[in-house]
Structure 1
Amino acid sequence: MRRDAWAGGQQRAGAETSARAQQPAGALLGPLLAGSAQPHQVRRAAQGLGLPERGRYAVVVLGTAPMVPDRDRDRDGDGARWCWCGEVGVVLLGRGGLDGPVGSLGEAGAGPGGVSPVVGGLAELGLARRLAGAALLTCGPGTHEIVTLDERLPTALVASRPELSARLLAEVFGPLLVLDPAEQALLVGTLEVWLECGGSVGRAAVRLRCHRNTVFNRLRRLERLTSRSLSHPGELVETVLALDALRLSAARG
């Protein structure tokens, strides 16, 4: 009797394990990506997907659902393993870290997409999902770029709080926005080039093919309009963040 009971228990346990293994990846990943998974759900997902509970994971959020199977896959040959839940991908990193998986998605034209920082296990996928979503907000519509959060942190801060972004844009660039579009584009373009040139008026003048005094005069006009000095660190930060808000606003139409 005891032996029969034990055998029956083993059969039930085996059936439960098999059922978990047959669950779609999305059903197992859903609670983890939502950040609401309990410890037993983390264990179940690890068993069902054949993934370790602890490991180097990242999350990718794409603007559209990718044309990939809803299962584990090795995309780039360095040992990375993927699972997809709609437009959200979870990757267990291989030898090459994030570069290989991000590069593969970019080459496939899968973007736009945002990539989270690396987290230490399946239980942290909810946080990674939110951070990847913040990175995606910085991508322009219609682009195929795949960006990591760490390369877009300031812009992600602006993009993730649209009400503050709108206020920052109005407060800093309000007087600039009422100018003739051509003049506005000239001043904003000069600012962008000056920033790309590390604040060098001379290098910006070469890029813009004009005299350095022309660049200097445009920047001074911008300072008067915004009431922010580009030589004051705090006010420069406000100007740069407002520029990000302007780009995001233009991209969204």
Structure 2
Amino acid sequence: MRRGTRYGVLLGPLLAGGAPPDLVRRAARGLGLPERGAYAVVVLAGSVPEAAVAEGPDADGTLWRWCGSGDGAGDVAVVLLGAAGPPGAVARLGKHGAGPGGMSPVVGSLAELGAARRLAGTALLTCAPGTREVVRLDERLPTALLVSRPELSARLLAEVFGPLLALVPAERAVLVGTLEAWLECGGSMGRAAVRLRCHRNTVFNRLRRLERLTARSLSRPRELVDLVLALDVLRLSSAPP
């Protein structure tokens, strides 16, 4: 049975938000779920493996109720979380190769699924193009702010990375990759050099050049925030760095 044919009618009004209490009660009975509980919504894009859309219960007690997104863009799950919580649900989807996808914060009732559905959609927007990751909004809040205001994101990218974007793609990719490695290595030049397979001084010189191009210093916290956020916008762009 194709997902969405069984639960779409029941979940649709809940995911749209604003469902009256009597409708929530009827939907709860039809879905076999309690009105109150630890719920999250997952929005997946693209084709989802059938193995990923089982109803459960999973080993930790997690229950899944799936339906179509309503706009043909992907699939939506309402998840009654078990003992493993959101990390367990995300791990299950990753195990089955589902994604990209976004998971909402936990809400306390079926009546709150409308807001959760919107936040899960925002989380999905934080997935970089071409990835299969399933991400939790609570772990992507700064990036979620960026995708929620695309006009400001574009302005931030132009303001912070404008001179960097004017470089030829290969040169730009080297500087961006070095910044990413340095950040992932906790600001350690030595560890970044090992990851990039180059000398520590090479990492230092690349980062100094990036600082000159952007007129921002990695040692000043507020300016570092600018660089990290601009890097997130660039990562989410459909164009390669």
- Corresponding residue for residue 60 of structure 2: 78
Larger Rg: 1
Alpha carbons 1:165, 1:245 under 8 Å: kept: yes
Identity of aligned residues (%): 73
- Residues paired across the two proteins, number: 230
Give the whole-Å Cα distance in 1 for the aligned partners of 2:130 and 2:200: 35
Worse overlay, 110-119 or 139-148: 139-148
Structure 1 110/211 Cα, relative in aligned 2: closer, same or farther at 3 Å?
closer
Label 1:72 to 1:120 Cα distance change in 2 as closer, same or farther (>3 A). farther
Number of the residue aligned with 1:208 = 196
Distance 2:92 2:65 in 1: 15
Contact 1:115 1:132 in 2 (8 A): yes
* Counterpart AA for 2:212: R
Normalised by the length of structure 1, the TM-score is: 0.83
Q: 1:173 to 1:115 in 2, by over 3 A?
A: same
Q: What are the residue-to-residue correspondences of 1:118-197 with 2, within 5 Å? A: 118-197=106-185
Write the distance in 2 (CA, Å) between the matches of 1:206 and 1:41.
58
**Distance 1:159-1:144 versus aligned 2 partners, 3 A rule:** same
Q: Deviations over 1:183-207 (max 9, x none)?
A: 1111111111111111112222222
Give the structure 2 partner of residue 41 of structure 1.
23
Unaligned 5+ runs, structure 1? 1-22
Equivalent in 18, 26, 38 of residue 56 of structure 1 = 38
Rounded Cα–Cα distance in structure 1 between residues aligned with 2:195 and 2:93: 32
Distance 2:48 2:231 in 1: 31
- The residue number in structure 2 matching 1:9 is none
Which residue does the alignment assign to 2:214?
A: 226
Segments ≥4 residues shifted beyond 6 Å: none
Question: What is the CA RMSD across the aligned residues, in angstroms?
Answer: 2.2
SS in 1 for 2:237: helix
Structure-2 separation of matches of 1:144 and 1:103: 12
**TM-score for the superposition, normalised by structure 2:** 0.87
Q: Are 2:49 and 2:97, in contact at CA under 8 Å, matched by a contact in 1?
A: no
Partner-residue secondary structure (3-state), 2:90? helix
Quick one: which amino acid aligns to residue 12 of structure 2? G
How far, CA to CA, are the matches of 1:214 and 1:193 in structure 2? 13
For the residues of structure 2 that align with 1:251 and 1:209, how far apart are their CA atoms?
Answer: 25
Picking from 102, 106, 109, the partner of 2:94 is 106
After superposition, give the CA deviation of every residue in 1:10-49 in whole Å (9 maximum; x if it has no partner): xxxxxxxxxxxxx942112112111221222211211221
CA distance in 1, matches of 2:54, 2:171: 52
Structure 2 residues not aligned, in runs of 5+: 69-74
Match in the other structure for 1:11: none
Higher relative contact order (CA 8 A, sep 6+): 2
Structure 1's 126 and 251: CA in aligned 2 closer, same or farther, altered over 3 A?
A: farther
User: Which residue identity does 1:238 align to in structure 2?
Assistant: D
